[in-house]
Amino acid sequence: MAVKFRDYYEVLGVPRAATADEIKRAYRQLARKHHPDLKPASEKAAAAERFKEINEAYEVLSDPDKRTKYDALGASYKGGMDYTPPPGSSWTAADTSTWNEADGFSDFFASLFGRAGRRGGRGGVRITIPGSDVEAELPVTVEELLRGGRRRLQLPNGRAVEVEVPPGARDGTILRLAAQGEPGLNGGPPGDLYLHVRVLPHPRLRVVGDDLEMGLPLWPWQAVLGGEVTIDTPDGPVTLKVPPGTQGGRRLRLRERGLPRPDRRRGDLHAVVRIVVPERPSAAEREAYETLKRVGGVAADRPAA
């Protein structure tokens, strides 16, 4: 006896190449949207039919063995075509009419998977629904990107969770906490919590990919004469050599003092030179600059481009 082919991918609104997580997420969204218990009385009957259809599709596509068997058949069929069970199948119309009334599955499901797919008893399937996933922002410091850390986060629903920030996370990294989302209905499993990492502004450091940048203020004579300066980095004080004739905007690199990378190395730290002048020079300083002006002549009034 022929039965209508059912496109389970179309039912869940996912492509045939969808991953298990994509299928689960689509199911959760649709199941909550069409759950009969969440509908007014006038819409409950239609919602129940749609809900059974969604559950049937998920029953197949969430099970690797069932999905493989379905894909082998589905590749040869298009929506609306009929499917005839193979010769020797124990399925009959009488079996299906009794079984489907009890279990909520279609004739197509029964003909394809037989009684092995049966779920629940003659009293019907208990309608359960997984909890919704929750998304939230996780603000982290640059220091936490460098070394990791543990953070207590207050969610929008008022619940607090403990979060482990892994070293090497980046702005936009998504952390998944399984079963930390909204609770399910009627015994359904809870959803997941997805945290989007957002890096907080730092007073001295700026994140650029795997690297860090920091300002390096130099007095004019330090830039002209060069020398050694000590700077505070996230790893502690470091002595940095400034070449003579250093110009403003020059980047002095300290290797592997940036953010952790997947290859277990680190990015670099760049000290960006900024020339500063005294706002209120002393008499001695003014005299020194006047002398420099006289010695430099025209070049001191008109720097080279």
Q: Each residue of 102-136: pLDDT tens digit?
A: 455 777 777 667 644 444 433 344 556 778 888 99
85 vs 177, residue with greater confidence: 177
Using the predicted structure, report yes or no on whether residue 251 has a pLDDT greater than 60.
Answer: yes
Q: Which helix (H) or strand (E) holds 174?
A: strand 174-177
183 vs 241, residue with greater confidence: 241
pLDDT tens digit sequence for 39-98: 888 888 888 888 888 988 998 899 898 888 888 776 555 544 555 555 544 444 433 333
Whole-angstrom Cα distance, residue 66 to residue 135?
31
Q: What is the pLDDT of residue 14?
A: 94
Domain 205-301, what architecture?
A: Sandwich (2.60)
Q: How confident is the model at residue 145 (pLDDT cuts 50, 70, 90)?
A: very high
Average pLDDT taken over every residue of the chain: 82
* Best CA proximity match to 218, nearest among 190, 187, 249: 249
Helices 44-61 and 64-74 pack at an angle, to 10 degrees, of 100
- Name the least confident of 32-36, 202-206, 255-259, 269-273: 32-36
Find the mean pLDDT for residues 33-41: 81
For the ranges 1-5, 29-33, 299-303, the maximum mean pLDDT occurs at 29-33
For the ranges 51-65, 113-127, 178-192, 263-277, the maximum mean pLDDT occurs at 263-277
Whole-angstrom Cα distance, residue 257 to residue 235?
7
**Identical fold between 134-199 and 205-301:** yes
Domain 134-199, what architecture?
A: Sandwich (2.60)
Cβ density class 113-135: b for 16+ within 10 Å, e for less: beeebeeeeeeeeebebbbbbbe
pLDDT tens digit sequence for 195-234: 999 999 999 999 999 999 999 999 999 999 999 999 999 9
Whole-angstrom Cα distance, residue 33 to residue 129?
10
Helices 44-61 and 20-34 pack at an angle, to 10 degrees, of 170
Q: What is the pLDDT of residue 100?
A: 43
The domain defined by 3-117 folds into: Helix Hairpins (1.10.287)
Identity (one letter) of the amino acid at 220? P
Q: What is the pLDDT of residue 93?
A: 40
Whole-angstrom Cα distance, residue 212 to residue 206?
6
Query: Could you state, in order of their start, the residue ranges of all structural domains in the chain?
Result: 3-117, 134-199, 205-301
